Structures are given as C-alpha cells and as structure tokens.
C-alpha cells in the first residue's frame, strides 16, 4: 500500500501570526508565572515598589483588544477581573489600577496594580513622578504573598 | 375616598449609593459629551496633546470593576471597546492605551488614548516624562475630529 502524499505546508499567509520573533512577550514569560492556560498567562511583575503587581498576558502576539474576536476578548477580561479580585483579596489595596498600554511591547498585556496611599507614586500613576521611597518586602513576606496570589487565582480563573 | 398613606422613604442603608457629593465625576461631565445612556457616558478629554483622547465614565459612583456585577461590567467594557474601535477608525493611531486608574477620583472611568510615534510622550505612558512638544489641532480640525468621533460611536455603542 502506498502512503498518501504528505500534506503541503500551509503558505505563510495562511498561518495565524501567533508569535513575533523580536517580541519579548513572545520569547519570555514577562514575570514570575502564577497561572497559565492555552490562551493566556498571569505573572507577578518583578517590581520592588509594587509586590502585588500582576500582569495578564495574552499568549498569541496580538496588538489591540479590538483585534481579538469578542469571545477571546471576554476570556481575557475575565482573567483580568479574576486577577483584580485576587489582588484585592491578598493586598487589600486602596485602589486598583488596570492598564493595557504596550507602546514599547505591542503584544496585549494588562497591568493589574494594587495601590496604597503610601506607595512610591500615589496618587500619581506608577509611570508618573515618584513621590516617596518604598520599603521592599523581606524574602519570606514576598514568598507568602506569591503563594497567596496563586491560591486566590486558581479558583477564580477558568 | 381616603388616599393611601405615603410610602415611607427607604432608609439610607437601603439606597444604592449612585452619587457621591464630593466626587467630580458625579458632579461634572468629565469632558465634552459624545454619547450617553442610562449606565455610562463617553466624553472627549480636553487635552491639547491628545485630541482623540476619550473617557468612558460609569454614571454611578462605583470604585472598582469588581464592584460591578458581571453584566454591568460587560456593558462597560463593551463601551470601552466600541470607543477603542471608533478612535482607531478616526485617528488611526500606532497604538491604543486603555487604563482605569482613579487614584485621585475613585469613580470608575476608562481612558482610551490614541498614541502616535511623534506624540508628546511616546513611547512613555501619557503620565510619564514628556518627550517632545506637540502641535494642538486648529479649531476647524478639532471640530471635524469631534464630529467624526460622534459619528463613529453612535452605531457602535449599545
């Protein structure tokens, strides 16, 4: 019996552009991994000023929310709000800041940032002028915070 | 025929806190009105550096996205993404920035900001360090931009 001919490889124009070689969110996790599924991942950002700062990153290389189909958009926002809920539970912030910017890295990612009245930039955005020094967490407290975020996220994200 | 007794006023604890007297987004529109329904409004921000900068403001005084019920949250995000689509159509930006911060005004509002490589702060967030001067639009161009935003928003927001 002769084998069927190999299927031709799809031309490049037919492939979904899921990764971009030069993009740092295609080639690196973007933080310490807290949760991951096929569509997205949630990481903790390495920022000594903001220990509970999380990022929700869409796995595929997509530029804008309105480039996603509505169902995918809803899936991403569900994860963003689950992350907000987990960060509120663990960090009890005065305010949550949410942002999808991506000027330097145009690959969809959401910042979920717990803000406190005595944090480094409050009431400015974290990208604004620093208002005061901040005290980084001790390693044991940082590890406990990470464990608490993982535990709070697990049941919330689907 | 005697009239029925007046219904007692609901005690304060039973009333939904829809407005906060000291909040500027409860007492002022927050920009030039482009669209409004019972739940939310969309305004153009008066910022000479960013003529297409829009804001989607939840009408009731609510602090965080996760304080809204899921259906209301979806309604607000639908308007944010409709605004993103309208701003992309009218301004053709290099990138869209979305943010819900509210440190100074803790009343849910989303910034929808068209970014261009030669704008005042690019690639920094608009809250970061200014990178260069910008040229404000002439009045006729500003009026045309506003009319285009209104026309693009009307069919997109429900």
CA-nearest of A115, A141, A140 to A128 is A115
CB-CB contact of A46 with A33 (8 Å): no
Burial state string for A51-64 with b = 16 or more CB within 10 A and e = fewer than 16: bbbbbbbbbbbbeb
CA angle, residues B29, B26, B39, in degrees to nearest 5: 80
Give the pLDDT mean for B16-43. Answer: 90
A42: helix, strand or coil: strand
Q: Is A122 within 8 Å of B103 when comparing Cβ atoms?
A: yes
Q: How is residue A42 written in tokens? A: 């949630």
Q: Is A102 within 8 Å of B97 when comparing Cβ atoms?
A: yes
Q: Average pLDDT of chain B?
A: 89
Q: How is residue B18 written in tokens? A: 């829809």
CA-nearest of B64, B66, B91 to B145 is B91
DSSP secondary structure, A53-114, as one string: -EEEEESS----GGGS-HHHHHHHHHHHHHHHHHHHHHH--SEEEEEE--SSS-S-EEEEEE
Q: What pLDDT, on the 0 to 100 scale, is given for residue B17? A: 52
Q: Comparing B55 with B15, which gets the higher pLDDT?
A: B55
Contact residues, chain B, for A106 at CB < 8 Å: 95
Mean pLDDT (10-residue bins), chain A, 158 residues: 51 55 93 95 95 97 97 97 96 97 97 97 97 91 93 82
Q: List the single best residue of A92, A96, A157 to mutate versus B (max B Cβ within 10 A).
A: A96
B84 touches chain A (CB under 8 A): yes
Confidence of residue B156 (pLDDT cuts 50, 70, 90): confident
* DSSP letter (8 states) at residue A6: P
A100 touches chain B (CB under 8 A): yes
Q: How is residue A110 written in tokens? A: 């959401």
Contact residues, chain A, for B123 at CB < 8 Å: 103-104
Q: Is A97 within 8 Å of B95 when comparing Cβ atoms?
A: no
B106 touches chain A (CB under 8 A): yes
Confidence of residue B152 (pLDDT cuts 50, 70, 90): very high
pLDDT per residue as tens digits for the range A60-99: 999 999 999 999 999 999 999 999 999 999 999 999 999 9
Q: How is residue B98 written in tokens? A: 């979305």
Q: What pLDDT, on the 0 to 100 scale, is given for residue B11? A: 43
Q: Is B103 within 8 Å of A125 when comparing Cβ atoms?
A: yes
Q: What is the ipTM of this complex?
A: 0.88
Confidence of residue B4 (pLDDT cuts 50, 70, 90): low
CA–CA distance, B149 with B100 (Å, rounded to integer) = 21
Burial state string for A108-118 with b = 16 or more CB within 10 A and e = fewer than 16: bbbbbbbbeee
A96 touches chain B (CB under 8 A): yes
| Secondary structure in 3-state letters for chain B | CCCCCCCCCCCHHHCCCCCCCCCHHHHCCCCEEEEECCCEEEEECCCCCCCCCEEEEECCCCCCHHHCCHHHHHHHHHHHHHHHHHHHHHHCCCEEEEEECCCCCCCCEEEEEEECCCCCCCCCCCCCCCCCCCCCCCHHHHHHHHHHHHHHHHHHCC
């Amino acid at each position: 019996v002769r084998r069927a001919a190999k299927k031709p490889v799809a031309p490049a124009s037919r492939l979904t552009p899921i990764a971009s070689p030069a993009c740092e969110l295609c080639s690196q996790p973007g933080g310490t991994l807290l949760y991951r599924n096929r569509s997205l991942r949630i990481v903790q950002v390495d920022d000594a000023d903001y220990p509970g700062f999380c990022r929700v990153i869409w796995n595929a290389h997509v530029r804008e929310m309105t480039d996603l189909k509505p169902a995918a958009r809803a899936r991403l926002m569900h994860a963003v709000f689950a992350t907000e809920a987990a960060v509120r539970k663990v960090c009890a912030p005065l305010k949550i800041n949410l942002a999808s910017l991506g000027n330097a890295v145009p690959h969809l990612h959401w910042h979920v940032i717990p803000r406190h009245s005595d944090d480094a930039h409050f009431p400015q955005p974290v990208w604004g002028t620093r208002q005061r020094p901040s005290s980084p967490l001790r390693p044991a407290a940082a590890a406990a915070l990470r464990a608490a975020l993982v535990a709070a996220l697990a049941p919330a994200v689907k």
